[in-house]
Structure 1
Amino acid sequence: MTFWDEIEQQALAARRKMVRSGELLGEDEFRERLRLSESQLARMLQRGDVFAIEVDGVAYLPALLATLGLDLRRLYSICRILVPAPPSCRLGYLSSRHANLGGISPLEALREERQYRLLRQMARAYAAEWVRTVVTIYVGSYEVEPRDIEPTLTAAHEVDPRVNLWMRAEDALLSGGYIQPCGPYATASEATVFVSRQPAGQAPPIPEARIAVSIVDGVAHANVVCHEVSTYKLDAIRVADEDIVGVVLHVVVAVRKLSL
């Protein structure tokens, strides 16, 4: 048995214990507590108001999400913010005390307006940690990301994946959170940009967009492909004698302005 198999077995044993203790409820019991219909619960799950945790192939919902006496409207707004995190981690976040909340739990922070506003801010930061947007730039033209050459630039930024794709890509290039190498960068007549989402852990990256950039006589031309289905060409952008990373930033900003 591998280390990760042992970790998974321990996690499963903990979830089974939560079912036995009533910390996790079956869907019928959860609906009964809140007097919900099946369709109402389905809509809440879809919106992210509540979330389910699977145990032995059965979906259970945290009992704390049906706690009468809590401000459930505020609680469900926090749940929606936490959607990028895995369900088990959302539960762990909600049920733990946090130093950045003054040593109290999110459930306690729901009671007072100032603490609730701080909780929303901290929950956004926590949710963003679970997915990075990665922008990779290669000199040359490529249909798929090459594996045998080093990129001219790799930039990554932790941000909620529900934020506009091009806002996330621009943030990655400008944030300074992770940029490698730091420059200076060469000029080039052609480049390919790949934008992807990188979930936390060992999950593979999720491709989101590709940009083919060419520069002729100080003018950049770009073809943008999103999700391999929609392709469009940007208007020409004058870039003078900028290096290739500066050119790509101009292109990403232009795409972002078109997408909003």
Structure 2
Amino acid sequence: MDSFVGLEVPVNEGLLVAEGDTCAALSISPQALRKEVEENRMFSIEFQNREYYPLFFSDKQLSRDELAEVCKALERLPSVGKWLFLTNPSYSLGGITPLEALKQRKFKQVLVLAYAFADL
């Protein structure tokens, strides 16, 4: 959990959602969600004293297991760093975001990039 001042846009656009919405979208309990975060398979971001979870965790076009493995590779980073890694285009991926690359089944490339990014 990290706090980041510039999150008004992602929260207002619904890119970051509350715990209840995340649990409903994934059909899991709050306890299961917290366990996913503790195990670094997911992450949350604090904004205005509330926890928010990236909406992409419930994207059916993404493999939850692959996304979880990428999150584990990024575990040493603050949550905002994970968010930025996953949502910003990467030259190494041909100018697409790691999330788009995962949708295109480029898991191994994203995972290698995640480990390299976490080591910077």
| TM-score normalized with structure 1 length | 0.43
Partner of 2:71: 79
User: What secondary structure is seen at the aligned counterpart in 2 of 1:85?
Assistant: coil
Q: Contact 2:61/2:103 (CA < 8 Å) preserved in 1?
A: no
Which of 105, 118, 124 is the aligned partner of 2:115? 124
Relative to structure 1, is the Cα distance of residues 127 and 100 closer, same or farther in structure 2, using a 3 angstrom cutoff?
Answer: same
Match in the other structure for 1:105? 97
Q: 1:30 maps to which residue?
A: 22
1:65 alignment partner in structure 2: 57
Report the TM-score when normalising by structure 2: 0.89
What is the CA-CA distance between 1:49 and the residue it aligns to? Answer: 1.0
Work out whether residues 89 and 98 of structure 2, in 8 Å CA contact, stay in contact via their aligned partners in 1: yes
**Unaligned segments of structure 2, at least 5 residues:** none
Q: Distance in 1 between matches of 2:24 and 2:103?
A: 25
State the SS of the aligned residue for 1:110.
helix
The runs of at least 4 aligned residues of structure 1 exceeding 6 Å deviation read none
Q: Which residue of 1 aligns with 2:83?
A: 91
> Match of 1:18?
10
For 1:1-260, what aligned pairs fall within 5 Å after superposition? 12=5, 14-112=6-104, 115-129=106-120
Instruction: Identify the structure with the greater strand proportion.
Output: 1
Deviations 1:39-90 (A, max 9, x none): 2111101111110100111111111122122222111110111111111111
Quick check: which one's helix share is greater?
A: 2
Structure 1 or 2, whichever has the larger Rg, is: 1
How far has the Cα of 1:107 moved from its partner?
1.3
Residue 105 of structure 1, CA deviation: 1.4
In structure 2, C-alpha distance between the alignment counterparts of 1:74 and 1:45, rounded to whole Å: 15
Q: Which runs of 5+ in 1 are unaligned?
A: 1-7, 130-260
Instruction: Indicate the percent of aligned positions where both proteins have the same amino acid.
Output: 25
Specify which structure has the bigger relative contact order, considering alpha-carbon pairs within 8 angstroms and separated by 6 or more residues: 2
User: What does the per-residue CA deviation read over 1:197-243, in whole Å, with 9 as the maximum and x for residues that have no partner?
Assistant: xxxxxxxxxxxxxxxxxxxxxxxxxxxxxxxxxxxxxxxxxxxxxxx
